[in-house]
Structures are given as structure tokens and as C-alpha cells.
Amino acid sequence: MNNKAIIQAMKQRVYEANLALPKLGLVKLTWGNVSEINRSLGIIVIKPSGVKYQEMSKEQMVVTDLNGQLLETNALKPSSDLPTHLYLYQKMPEIGAIAHTHSLNSVTWAQAGRALPPYGTTHADAFYGAVPCTRALSESEIKENYEEETGKVIVETFHEQELDPLAVPGVLVYGHGPFTWGMTPEKAVENSLILDEICSMARLTEIINPAVEPIDHFLLDKHYLRKHGISAYYGQCCDETCEKEG
């Protein structure tokens, strides 16, 4: 496949992933964005800024280099969150796509400024432990390079807590909302949906039992590791690599 065909395929995947956000109830209006990186070509494809989902086309997906410079003539402006995506791609070389939403339940938890505890196996199936919440950005961080500083505070949180981005594929940014990621745009969106669902479940769980504690580590291990890692056994063997995902 030549470079032009690769870029067109990326645009199609990013377009479809962005359209999935309102279909799944994760965004309203023009909120949210999805991007994908191709490290060998040194390019990123991301949603254009402020374009309504119902009016968006594949051709409008914006292609930039790894510094955020536009690579196509007559291109629309990229999402204002591009600097956040760029920084995460730079510091998290394991990931291939990023999704950002303003979904109700995830934003509610982010505004509360709390990490999301693993209260059950639905959480453990996708996130290996608590989903962290970042610290608040300082006034100077917000005024100077807000979007890039958002990326920096996410990376700072994962570094300080010694978290694996593949094992915990998402974060709550204090006062803002969720960012999730995966190897593909589809997977990044799936993790956004899961995160919003488990935020809702956790909130209701705490209402029913304010003294609830996170599940035991051995139950967390069982549910996460049966879907992820070399000993995973959940799902079907699709090819010779026997990739096992739910």
C-alpha cells in the first residue's frame, strides 16, 4: 500500500471513530475528537475543529506531521486538542489512537477530582486498577500552553503513579474530562464508552453503599488477565497470532 492509500485509510478510520462518538452518546454538539498516528510516516490524522458531526466528511479529516504542521493544502483547522494528542503520542509510544469526549459520567467524575476505583469486574475487564485523575493545572499552565500542558499533566500522572498506559488506557483530567487511547481509533472509542459506563456504575454503587471498597486484587487480576496478556483466554482465536479480546 502506498503512502496516499495509507493516509486515506487512516482518514476513513478516524472519520468513522469520530462519528461513533455521538452515536454512542459520548458527545453533544461538536464536543470531542479522535485521532490516529502513523509513526513510520510521521503523521497524525485528527478531527477538524468545530465541525458538526452530521456535516463532517472523510475528506475533512486533518493530516499533520508530528509537530502539528498541516500537510495538505486547503485543509481545515485541526481540533484545538491536537497539542494534547501530540504530547501523548510523543511520551506514550505504545499507543496508536486517542479519543477525547465530554461524556456525562466521565466528566462528572473528573469534575469531582477523584480517581475511579475498581469496584467491579466490568471495570477490571478493561482497566487494570484505578483510573487516575490528574491534578489541577496552575494558572500559568492554563494561560501559556493550555492544551500541551493538559498532555503534560496526564503524562506526569502516569509517571508519578508508575502506570502502564496499555493496562490503564485512559485518564480523567481534573475539571475537564476523559482521554482514552488504544492501538486503533475504534479501540480508543471503545475505551471511552467503557470508562463512561464504569463511572456511572461507580457513582451509583457509592450511593447504595457509601462504605464500598475496591474489589480484591485477585479478582481484578483474574478479570483483567483473562482478556489481556500472554495467558489471556477470553474470546476466539482469529488467526495464527491467536489474538484474544472480548
- Catalytic residue numbers, as ranges: 125, 234
As to burial, measured by CB atoms within 10 angstroms (0-12 exposed, 13-18 middle, 19+ buried), residue 45 is buried
* Chain position carrying cell 483547522: 77
As to burial, measured by CB atoms within 10 angstroms (0-12 exposed, 13-18 middle, 19+ buried), residue 159 is exposed
User: What b-and-e string marks burial along 125-158, b requiring 16 or more CB atoms within 10 Å of the CB?
Assistant: bbbbbbbbbbeebeeeeeeeeebbbbbbbbbebb
